[in-house]
Amino acid sequence: MKTVAVVGSQWGDEGKGKVIDFLATQSDVVIRAQGGNNAGHTLVVDGKKYALRLIPSGILNPEAVNVIGNGIVFDPKGFLKELENFEEGQVHHDKIKISDRAHVIMPYHKELDALSEEARGDQKIGTTKNGIGPCYMDKTERSGIRICDLMDKDIFKKKLSAQIIAKNKIVKNIYGKEELFDFETIYNEYLGYADKIRRYVDDTTVIVYDAIKEGKKVLFEGAQGTFLDLDLGTYPYVTSSHPISGGFAVGAGIGPNMIKDVVGIVKAYTTRVGEGPFVTEQDNEIGETIRKNGHEFGVVTGRPRRCGWFDAVMVSYAARVNGLTSIAFMLLDVLTGFDKLRICTAYKMGDKIIKNFPASLDDLAKCEPIYEELDGWNEDITGVTDFDELPENAKNYVRRIEELIGVSVDIVSVGPGRLQTIVRRNIFEK
Ligand code: GDP
Ligand code: IMO
Ligand code: MG
């Protein structure tokens, strides 16, 4: 079986898009299985930058089938707009498949996302306001509209009209607004999308299953990251889906025994967008330097990302809950020029030493990082393609992290481009 799951091991934006694009050159199928266009995955190919949000990052490999799985919340307007970013002939439309079981993001989901954030005031989550949470709420409440519903105009009409009544009641009675949503407008707009996306809609569970059974190379593309997972992340400052490796079984509709390898995408430092505690945060000159060198601004919202030192407590937890078999260590070049680098090896809470990432955010907020200090390097590493050619201190940094996490670093990334990648072991051949 040649299946590889790629998961974010921190708070998202670890460089998943780059690794997926890199591995996609060897893959037959690439699948997104959770989240929606809250994701922003960057690919840099031949010096050109592509920001993907919903379309799988295998799209630039003409051979790969790109699947949007049943676990996705699908924004048709966003999807069609994203397709426009590609040039004529660059995308093979017959190789894009959208699950008929995926849920559809409607205009009221986006509106309710914004209203609920506003109502939370200083308790806000800092969502991307793409309607992700409200769409998953409808899914779990069992009133959501799925792609298969959208494909049938009578079923869609029935389900949508019930939802318009329900959502107008919410905006009026909870948020004290005028009834915002008009059935005819939304119905006609979405029938237009239905016509445009029909060619892509399929039972993707069959496509994925058959590919795995035929021994094809199948890549599962994680969005968000372990600490944004609804169950295992820093709740409530999380997203509403399961970015951990277990999420792929549900979100792609396969058995968990069909996922062979799990690659954790790990940033050489830590970043976070949105609210919530962050133990190794550097709200100072160090954080500024990392943000500047790493261009740490959100792909989706443009918000500056919060930056801090590498946290081995977090990544060890991610290794455990995802069952990581490999690490791709990203953005190492961003740390060039620091005299000393710090790695957080444990937390101190009062007089207690904590090695396991805590559940309670109150506890987390009380945790102080315990750091180990390593020497930095000044050499430009952005052209290095062989691990042995890295400066000794850069190698020591990677090796120390490998030792602390207990998972082998099989890929080291030294720049955003496809070729700026050091491969220590071929992940598909592991
Ligand atoms: P994703 O959401 O995990 O796919 O990551 P994002 O695309 O949101 O953020 C990662 C950013 O880092 C993007 O701008 C990438 O182009 C960039 N990037 C990825 N790998 C490297 C690397 O090794 N070095 C540098 N300097 N940038 C990288
Ligand atoms: P990629 O795939 C970083 C964060 C938001 C917010 C929280 C909830 O590019 O790594 P949501 O809109 O999902 O309800 O927002 O989750 N968030 C991300 N942060 N990278 C992402 O995706 C994210 N997707 C959501 O900032 O804190
Ligand atoms: Mg991103």
Predicted TM-score (pTM) of this structure: 0.97
In this predicted structure, what is the pLDDT of residue 409? 98
Residue type for 53, please?
Answer: R
Mean pLDDT in residue range 358-375: 97
Give the model's pLDDT for residue 298.
87
Ligand 2 geometric centre to CA of 224 (Å): 6
Give the distance (Å) from ligand 2 centre to CA of residue 51: 15
Q: What angle do CA 175, 177, 182 make, to 5 degrees?
A: 115
Distance CA 58, CA 22 (A): 9
Domain ranges in the chain with CATH number 3.90.170.10? 266-429
Is residue 55 within 6 Å of ligand 2 at its C-beta? no
pLDDT digits (tens, 9 = 90+) for 94-116: 999 999 999 999 999 999 999 99
User: What percent of the chain is modeled with pLDDT above 70?
Assistant: 100
What's the rounded mean pLDDT across residues 219-243? 98
Beta carbon of 273 within 6 Å of any ligand 2 atom: yes
Q: For ligand 2, is residue 307 a contact (CB within 6 Å)?
A: no
How is residue 177 annotated by DSSP?
A: P
Closest-CA residue, ligand 1 atom 9, reads 13
Residue 410 falls in the annotated catalytic set: no
Give the residue range(s) of CATH 3.40.440.10 domains in the chain: 2-97+201-261
Pick the CATH number of 103-197 from 3.30.210.10, 3.40.50.1000, 3.40.50.720, 1.10.300.10: 1.10.300.10
Q: Is the CB–ligand 2 distance for residue 274 below 6 Å?
A: yes
Predicted pLDDT at 301: 79
For atom 27 of ligand 1, the residue with the nearest CA is 416
Once rounded to an integer, what is the mean pLDDT over residues 307-313?
98
Please name the residue whose Cα sits nearest to atom 17 of ligand 1: 416
- Model confidence at 274: pLDDT above 90: no
Q: Does position 229 have pLDDT exceeding 90, yes or no?
A: yes
Give me 361's structure tokens.
């955010």
Measured by CA distance, the residue closest to atom 6 of ligand 2 is 127
What pLDDT is stored for residue 17 in this prediction? 94
Q: Would you say the CB of residue 21 lies under 6 angstroms from ligand 1? A: no
Confidence band, pLDDT 50/70/90 cuts, at residue 2? very high
**Tens-digit pLDDT profile for residues 28-65:** 999 999 999 999 999 999 999 999 999 999 999 999 99
Report the pLDDT averaged over residues 414-424. 96
Helix (H) or strand (E) holding 43: strand 41-45
Q: How far is the CA of 168 from the centre of ligand 3 (A)?
A: 33
Kindly report, as residue ranges, where domains of CATH 1.10.300.10 are found in the chain. Answer: 103-197
Q: Which ligand is nearest to the CA of 278?
A: 2
| 99 in contact with ligand 2, CB cutoff 6 A | no
Q: Is 222's C-beta closer than 6 angstroms to any atom of ligand 1? A: no
Write down the catalytic residue from 21, 28, 41, 333: 41
Query: Quick one: pLDDT band at residue 299, thresholds 50, 70, 90?
Result: confident
Kindly state the average pLDDT of the residues 343-368.
97
Instruction: Give the tens place of pLDDT for each residue, 248-266.
Output: 999 999 999 999 999 999 9
Instruction: Give dist(CA 54, CA 33) in Å, integer.
Output: 10
**CATH number of the structural domain 2-97+201-261:** 3.40.440.10
Closest of 50, 8, 426 to residue 217, by C-alpha: 426
273/294 Cα distance (integer angstroms):
14
430 pLDDT above the threshold of 80: no
In angstroms, what is the span from residue 287 Cα to ligand 2's centroid?
20
Q: Does residue 41 carry a catalytic annotation?
A: yes
Does 300 score more than 80 pLDDT? no
Say how far residue 393 (Cα) sits from the centre of its chain.
Answer: 30
Mean pLDDT in residue range 135-146: 98
Q: With 90 as the cut, is the pLDDT of residue 428 above it? A: no
Q: Which of 143, 134, 74, 137 is nearest to 103 (CA)?
A: 74
CB 397 within 8 A of CB 374: yes
The CATH number for 266-429, chosen from 3.90.170.10, 3.40.630.30, 3.40.50.300, 3.30.1540.10, is: 3.90.170.10
Summarised one tens digit per residue, pLDDT across range 185-218 is 999 999 999 999 999 999 999 999 999 999 999 9
Cα(214) to ligand 2 centroid in Å equals 34
Q: Ligand 3 being an ion, which residues bring their Cβ within 5 A of it?
A: 13, 40, 299
Ligand showing the shortest atom-to-Cα distance for residue 41: 1
Whole-number pLDDT of residue 302: 87
What local confidence, expressed as pLDDT, does residue 257 receive?
Answer: 96
Q: Is the CB of 17 under 6 A from ligand 1?
A: yes
Tell me which ligand sits closest to the C-alpha of residue 116. 2
Q: What is the mean pLDDT of the chain?
A: 96
